Copies of this chain bind each other. A is one copy, B any other.
Amino acid sequence: MPNAFLRKLDSFEPLHPDDRDWLKSISSRTREVDADIDLISEGDNPENVLLILAGFAMRYKVTSDGRRHIFAYLIPGDFCDLHVALLKKMDHSIATLSPCRVAYLSPGTILELTERRPSLARALWMCSLVDEATLREWLVNLGQRSAPHRISHLFCELHERMKAVGLTDDGSFELPLTQAELSDTMGLSIVHANRSLKELREAGLVSLKNERIVIPNVRRLAEYSDFDPSYLHLRWPALAHGSRQR
């Protein structure tokens, strides 16, 4: 696989060949991790910066009454904790959802990067800006949309992001999520998530089977979801763009 990470950075802005080479050279120390393993836990003071090379992971937090909330999905090419290098302590946890290949970068590598490769540093900063924009969009999603629209909006986003790293197959991609995870993401009960999925399925908008999602008509789903990919700041969004007004 030609490195989803390179592909992702490239999809923001073309990378310098020098930077490409340098990036390839550093992805040395990698590890295979099983599904359902915490990569980083809340309260940790992480020593490495982690990069997902393959597989699916999530950021989450557990409230004091035991409710879990998932607020990000990490797909190949995503950093786990670029941002937290600066902070003393993780304020949330990260766990794998499927078996993953993970690169462990030393803080020194990141430091070197920020000092000697300004254009790359910009690209990385860009990554965290997009993460932030994504959080904002998720907030809108939770605050303003009904369950089925919420869920389908998530699917649109994941499709767009998976496509940017070359992991879609014509509206279909791996999605190793249980309905429990989906509901903890959407602030819904499992039961209601299930019923909403059923509604989407019966409307012919999405079907979900064997850890794989199929979207027969991506554009139709995007319209249904009021999905406008501009917050992802990709150079080539799969969708021209939604119908959001000013």
Which secondary structure dominates where chain A touches chain B?
mixed
A113-131 to B contact mask, C-beta < 8 Å, 1/0:
0000000001001101101
Interchain residue pairs with CB less than 8 A apart (6) = A88-B233, A92-B133, A128-B128, A131-B132, A139-B139, A143-B186
Report how many copies the assembly holds.
2
- Of A2-10, A191-199, A238-246, the one with at least 4 CB within 8 A of chain B: A238-246
Partner of A226, one of B63, B129, B132, B144: B63
Q: List the B side residues contacting A138 at CB < 8 Å.
A: 139
Q: List the B side residues contacting A135 at CB < 8 Å.
A: 132, 135-136, 139
State the CA gap A67–B146 with chains docked (Å). Answer: 12
Interface residues in A82-123 by Cβ distance below 8 A to B read 83-84, 86-89, 91-92, 122
Give the A interface residue count (CB, 8 A): 52
Could you tell me if A129 and B69 are in contact, using CB atoms closer than 8 angstroms?
no
Q: List the B side residues contacting A144 at CB < 8 Å.
A: 63, 67, 69, 187
Q: Mark A residues whose CB is within 8 Å of B.
A: 41-43, 59, 61-65, 67, 69, 71-72, 83-84, 86-89, 91-92, 122, 125-126, 128-129, 131-133, 135-136, 138-140, 142-145, 184-187, 226, 228, 230-231, 233, 242-246
Quote the shortest CB–CB distance from A86 to chain B (angstroms): 6
